[in-house]
Structure 1
Amino acid sequence: MKVDLEKFSRASKSDFLGNKKLKEKLKSTKPKNLDSIFLQHHEDAFSEINCLDCANCCKTTSPIFIQTDIDRLAKVFRMKSSQFIDEYLHRDEESDYVLNSSPCAFLGLDNKCLVYEDRPKACREYPHTNRKNMLGVLDLSLKNTLICPAVFKIFYEIGKDYRK
């Protein structure tokens, strides 16, 4: 399914307060099966949405680069880790290494990652909706409803059962 990023952006901003209420309800009720609920909706959403049709995460945000990511990518580019940092990264307000700019320097024109096999851990795990302890990443997942159409869809589907 082709993603209209402008339409998605309007819808995700419009529904953000409702999604925030859903997040608060999930945090307060702490459903025991929350991980499996998210996993099922994650699988359904990604059966319809192809990341290569979107790549909004790569176009608008930066993953956090941990030292092992930096070392691995520096090796790929045959440079020292310090050179990789100087060329591609800076520290954000939380002292994490992030990309200097958006879109990601490693995003191809076809939305394919040029370093896919060696991409940072944060990219491998994004959007974090198919993991254990979803309760612990609900704040992050709420933010991701504004970035990832699949996460937005996951919240929408879960909300059908919880917004009553």
Structure 2
Amino acid sequence: MAEDILDNWEKKSAEHQKQYKQFLHRADKNAVLKKLPDLHDAAFEKIDCLNCAACCKNYSPRFKTPDIKRISKYLKMRESVFIETYLTLDNDGDYVGKSKPCAFLGEDNACNIYDQRPSDCSRFPYTDEDVILKRPVITLKNSSFCPIVYYVMEGLLAK
């Protein structure tokens, strides 16, 4: 892949949304899953999430019950107080962060609860798992604000 793949990536991603959608709809699952580890690793070698943090600034993960238990224990808070302080229910009935940016995002774009973060955060941007194909709407959305998803999608299209 060309070194300048990330130049103006947001504009290119917007222009390529239709291609991404068609690709995700028609993709050979096994072939894609075979390519993902290398593309995922290459993306993380080129892109430092701490330079971006768009995910933490603009979106919230789901906080599942195990996440709530673990994080509230880490913060030495009762679960009910943690929920009341930091979370709200979304339209799907999932707990999500009350505020944007994320209450746990530091000024240096680092997560203040990194080792305890929600599983959605540790898995994001899902570029090394089948979520990229199983949830194409999420993949398309993520490709519009996450340079790693953009990089992986461009790599999948190029191969």
TM-score per shorter chain, which class? Answer: 0.7 to 0.9
Is 1:114 the equivalent of 2:112?
A: yes
Q: Give CA-to-partner distance per residue, 1:49-83, whole Å, 9 cap, x none.
A: 01111111111100000011111111111111111
- Written as runs of structure 1 = structure 2, the 5 A alignment for 1:74-113 is 74-113=72-111
Q: Give CA-to-partner distance per residue, 1:107-136, whole Å, 9 cap, x none.
A: 111111100010000001000010146431
Identity of counterpart residues, as a percentage? Answer: 36
Gaps of 5+ in 1: none
Q: Is the 8 A contact 1:145 1:152 kept in 2?
A: yes
Aligned to 1:26: 24
Aligned length: 153
Aligned to 2:150: 152
State the 1:103 CA deviation: 0.5
Distance 2:82 2:59 in 1: 19
Query: Which SS does the other structure have where 1:108 is aligned?
Result: coil
Gaps of 5+ in 2: 1-5
Q: TM-score, normalization: structure 2?
A: 0.86
State the 1:10 CA deviation: 3.9
Distance 2:105 2:59 in 1: 12
Q: TM-score, normalization: structure 1?
A: 0.84
Distance 2:41 2:20 in 1: 20
- Written as runs of structure 1 = structure 2, the 5 A alignment for 1:106-145 is 106-132=104-130, 134-145=132-143
The amino acid across from 1:95 in the alignment is: G
RMSD: 1.9
Change (3 A) 1:133 1:70: closer
Q: Is the 8 A contact 2:23 2:157 kept in 1?
A: no
